[in-house]
Structure formats: C-alpha cells, structure tokens
Amino acid sequence: MPAYSEKVMDHFMNPRNVGEIEDADGIGEEGNPVCGDMMTFYIKVNDNRLSDVKFKTFGCGAAIAVSSIVSEMAIGKTIEEARKITPSVVAKELGGLPKNKYHCSNLGAQALNLAIDDYQRKQGMKVKPRKRRKNDHE
C-alpha cells in the first residue's frame, strides 16, 4: 500500500466541501475509466471570485483527498488564480502523492478547470478547447 502524507489522510477521512450546488454557475466532470475515479466540481462565482466550490467524487482515498484540497484551494480565488491550481500544485499542497496516484491530482485540477470553462461559456465568453493528453489518466 502506498504511503500517504498526514494531509492526504486528513482530507480523505474528513473531506471538506462535499456536496452539490443546486444553482451552480459552472459544473465540471472528469473521470478515469481505467481506475474508476469520477469527480464532479460545482462552482459559484461572484465578482470574478469563486465564492463556493463543492464536489462529488467516486474513487479512491487519493481522489477524495485531491477533490477536498482543490475545493479548499479554489474558494475565494479569482478565476485567473483558480486556473493556476495545477496537478503539481495540488500534489505539493497534499505533501506529495504516490506515483501511481498522481493521476488523481490531474483529475481534480481538470474538473475544476472544466467547471470554470462551463461558467465562462454560460457568460458568453470564448473558451479554448482543452487538449487531452493521453497520459493524464494512466
């Protein structure tokens, strides 16, 4: 079994911001059919800031911990700041992830970005299509 940091264990055992936002401004869903992890992020935006972020995740402990920390990192950030939450930033914030669980940090960052894309599309903004890298989910 991979060794998880205390922070990963804390966010797995006591995940923050679990749930759904009924009238979400943006929703992003990302998943990995290989390992079965599925994440859905819901965001609320006020004055270009993420005023609320909730998630629903079906997956392993690392996936739940990643979703929890991403939601905490994103609340209160501007859209531009939230876009800077990358997989490596997520893994670092959690005190590292075992190599075979690093893909979970990709899923969390991508689901958040997809929720922001959804919000921006609904606002009539042009959103760049995301390139899917083959290795993102392996």
Catalytic residues: 35, 104
- For 52-58, the CB contacts below 8 A with 24+ separation are 52/21, 53/17, 53/112, 54/17, 54/18, 54/19, 54/20, 54/21, 54/24, 55/17, 55/18, 55/19, 55/111, 56/18, 56/19, 56/20, 57/18
